[in-house]
Amino acid sequence: MEVKLDKRYPLDVDAVRAWTLLADVPATAGCMPGAAITEKIDDTHYKGSVKVKVGPANAAFAGDIEVLALDELHQTMQLLGKGSDRGGSSASMKLTATIEAGETAGTSVLAGQAEVIVNGKFAQFGGRLMVQVSDMLLGQFVDNFRVAAAALPAPQASAVAATATGAAAEPVAEAPVQPQASAGAPAKPNEINALAVFWHLVKGWVAGLFGKRA
């Protein structure tokens, strides 16, 4: 089963810091609930994992990530991820993500297009449900991405000007970026709770049935 996604998320952080985070593959992967980079093969190849929990049961997907392109000038990244679990399910995703300047100073937009192919037991949920689950998980990812990007050092004026004119900006942070939760913000879960996702969808269906939000 194949699902296509085309999303745009406004960010209340400048394009320089947003791109610095996006270009750091391990840090960006750390923003996705349950996902982590487990090994770096080279600058464009990584091994990773995703943990899923359904009630008392746990599952772990292991896979490979390949960075197909990293265009600093246009602030665009393309990557391909493939993974499988011991139960025979598998999934792959080809993602193109771009950081665009926002309409107001100090803001930006994270735009992404993805093609997701799922095989095995997860394909039985159907395309519509998969899109709903993907939307929910992406929402959690963007929330974590905003916090991590905002935690980076503020860019220098020259870097902001270079980004505004379309020129490649100098890297702002030399060390790899690690997502950090701001004071009072909820900690990022270590695994995807599929039962909570399912309950969220059930509540949304009931709310729609009665013509009001849950």
Q: How many CA atoms lie within 13 A of 47 on its CB side?
A: 6
Summarize the confidence of residues 154-162 as an average pLDDT.
60
* pLDDT tier, 214 (very low <50, low <70, confident <90, very high otherwise): very low
* pLDDT tier, 173 (very low <50, low <70, confident <90, very high otherwise): very low
Structure token pair of residue 63: 């896979």
Between the CA atoms of 95, 186, 198 and 4, what dihedral angle is there, to the nearest 10 degrees? -10
For 138: left if phi > 0, alpha if psi spans -120 to 50, otherwise beta; the answer is alpha
How many separate domains does the chain show?
1
Question: Is 137 a domain residue?
Answer: yes
- Show Cβ contacts of residue 137 under 8 Å, excluding neighbours closer than 6 positions: 32, 33, 192, 197
Question: Is 105 a domain residue?
Answer: yes
What is the domain range of residue 47?
2-175+186-209
Average pLDDT score over the chain: 75
pLDDT higher than threshold 50 for residue 172: no
pLDDT higher than threshold 50 for residue 183: no
Question: Is 170 a domain residue?
Answer: yes
Summarize the confidence of residues 39-50 as an average pLDDT.
91
* pLDDT tier, 201 (very low <50, low <70, confident <90, very high otherwise): very low
Question: Is 146 a domain residue?
Answer: yes
Question: Is 149 a domain residue?
Answer: yes
CATH code, 203: 3.30.530.20
Question: Is 214 a domain residue?
Answer: no
Question: Is 180 a domain residue?
Answer: no
pLDDT higher than threshold 80 for residue 184: no
> What pLDDT, on a 0 to 100 scale, did the predictor assign at position 45?
95
Question: Is 18 a domain residue?
Answer: yes
pTM for the whole structure? 0.70
